[in-house]
Structure 1
Amino acid sequence: MPDDAGHATSARIDFFLLRPDASDASRVAAGARTHMAGFGSTGDVADVEVRRLGPHLHGFVVEDGFTAQGLTIGNTSLVLPDGGTFKLAASLRSSLDNLGAMAGCAERDDCPPDAGYDLTFQVDVDARDASAVAWPLRVRERGDACGQRIDRTHEVAFDTSTMAWRVPPELQRDGCD
């Protein structure tokens, strides 16, 4: 944990898009760069990877999350180049559970019926369209939520006018609904 970082302290990520230097092909230069905060917890970022998100489009996938008072939220963020900078193009859950909170209320015997949830969201790209600017996302939601077994797939389309994925509210929720 970085010095003086609290639970709610997000991490800063430096994103760079490297291109061949116009004057010297053996060198690269930053074609875009951005310092973005808002990821992670206690000043740490869980995972950052470069992923192909379209036939000619690469971006960053940032996995982060936090736990507070028995609620654990995992998040997947997709960051794309945007001119000379980068932009957050999607933010959606990767996991969501309140098992820690449910254990506490079970000890006190004051749990609401069917209040527990434990969900995972597997994000994949649908790379079938070779002419797409960016591929749509397929998100498989699985687990238990408030007394129901969940196993469903969400299609998340890419909006070329905003250069972002249209993430529905159910993939950004903090509870059962």
Structure 2
Amino acid sequence: MSSSLRNRLAAVVMAVAAGLLGCTPASEPGASSEPAKPHRVLNTTAQPEDTIRVRGDHTERLQAFLRLRYGDKAALDAPWKDAWEDTEVEALRPVTRRVCARDTATADGQEQTLLAVCQTLDDAATVEPGRVDLYVLRVGTDEEKTNRGGFFAQLPADDPLLVMAQRLQGQYGRHGSPGTVQIAQLGPQRRAFQISHEEHRRGHRRVWRSYIAEHNHRLRDVARYRDHLDNLALHGCDGNPADCGEGVFAVDFNTTVGDSNAVEGYWPLTVRASGHDCTGPATAFYHLIFDARQRAYPVPDDLQRDGCADS
């Protein structure tokens, strides 16, 4: 039994006992009457329960999960304002949270939901990233929980919502915004969070594509490479790089997901580079094949154009 669950049960027992005795616990001497600061700090020290016992349809279960994790303001279909405690500057700062990706499908005979919560820092500096929380959820059964210890079979609600995997507070993007998140199909039963975000450094603009998928009950980076690369701002040039002088480049990378020859359930990826890199016109194709030993798609160095990125 988790410590958080033991604490919650202890609180329930104390409340029931107090009610039966017709009294309420007295306040401790010297207790402050001031409201406490929010405890949902940005680094997510509070872990979500691995099980949520609630009756209702799928939407009601997801709403209950969000409220348990983020508080009563949380909503499935609308952003909500919140505050987080920045321990570095010892101040409360505003944040806007929203469900930015959500998809439910059947995988290995089980219905699973991929859920992403994006968090934008409302007063962020340009270099500050946004944050993304990623979850893989599934409706379980009392039999499953009985096999995990037997305690949950005593609780009144049916069919718990299980947190199968999670990754909290992933840092992406700039100016407090984490970029865009969507659900991608990488194989017959392999879905992944696709996160696209950009960063700016010394006149260079980079747009990254990351695929994060569940593998053995863990969310792993199965691929990460560039979607775009340019240094137009460095040269004050917004036209065709070939007409802007030496050392100016702009390259786009377009990805196509295959539909056959899956490895470990992952289809191959084809990435097409086009544009003008730091060595001249750039047109090339890269075929990324999932490597079961690495649990990822190996990305060749020349696709990344690190030589250009560092110039």
TM-score between both structures, scaled by the size of structure 2? 0.50
Shift of 1:155: 0.7
Shift of 1:132: 4.9
Q: What amino acid maps onto 2:249 in structure 1?
A: Y
The answer for the alignment partner of 1:54 in structure 2 is: 187
Matches of 1:124 and 1:82, distance apart in 2:
22
- Counting matched residue pairs gives 169
Cα deviation, 1:116-168, whole Å, max 9, x if unaligned, reads 10110011211122575211110010001236221211111110112101011
The answer for the alignment partner of 1:29 in structure 2 is: 162
Matches of 1:13 and 1:58, distance apart in 2:
17
- Once the two structures are overlaid, the 10-residue window that deviates more, 112-121 or 151-160, is 112-121
- Give 4+ residue runs of structure 1 displaced > 4 Å after superposition: none
Match of 1:118 among 225, 229, 250: 250
- Once the two structures are overlaid, the 10-residue window that deviates more, 16-25 or 148-157, is 16-25
Match of 2:206 among 69, 73, 91: 73
The answer to whether the Cα contact below 8 Å between 2:262 and 2:268 also exists between their aligned partners in 1 is no
Unaligned runs of 5+ in 2: 1-119, 143-157, 238-243
Residues 17 and 176 (structure 1), Cα distance of their counterparts in 2 relative to 1, 3 Å cut: same
Residues 170 and 6 (structure 1), Cα distance of their counterparts in 2 relative to 1, 3 Å cut: farther
Q: What amino acid maps onto 1:87 in structure 2?
A: R
- Once the two structures are overlaid, the 10-residue window that deviates more, 126-135 or 143-152, is 126-135
Match of 1:98 among 231, 236, 252: 231
Shift of 1:113: 5.4
Identity of aligned residues (%): 27
Aligned alpha-carbon RMSD (Å): 2.3
- In the alignment, does 2:287 pair up with 1:155? yes
SS of match in other structure, 1:114:
coil
Going by fraction, where is strand more abundant, 1 or 2? 1
- In the alignment, does 2:121 pair up with 1:2? yes
The answer to whether the Cα contact below 8 Å between 1:96 and 1:174 also exists between their aligned partners in 2 is no
Matches of 2:191 and 2:161, distance apart in 1:
17
Name which one, 1 or 2, has greater alpha-carbon Rg.
2
Residues 87 and 147 (structure 1), Cα distance of their counterparts in 2 relative to 1, 3 Å cut: closer
Going by fraction, where is helix more abundant, 1 or 2? 2
Unaligned runs of 5+ in 1: 105-111
The answer for the alignment partner of 1:139 in structure 2 is: 271
Matches of 1:45 and 1:121, distance apart in 2:
20
Shift of 1:84: 3.2
Residues 145 and 3 (structure 1), Cα distance of their counterparts in 2 relative to 1, 3 Å cut: same
TM-score between both structures, scaled by the size of structure 1? 0.84
Q: What amino acid maps onto 1:70 in structure 2?
A: G
The answer to whether the Cα contact below 8 Å between 2:263 and 2:290 also exists between their aligned partners in 1 is no
Structure with the bigger RCO (C-alpha within 8 Å, sep 6+) is: 1
Matches of 2:193 and 2:221, distance apart in 1:
10
- Once the two structures are overlaid, the 10-residue window that deviates more, 124-133 or 7-16, is 124-133
SS of match in other structure, 1:7:
coil
Cα deviation, 1:39-94, whole Å, max 9, x if unaligned, reads 11122111101111111111110000122332111000110113333111211000
Matches of 1:146 and 1:19, distance apart in 2:
47
The answer for the alignment partner of 1:85 in structure 2 is: 218
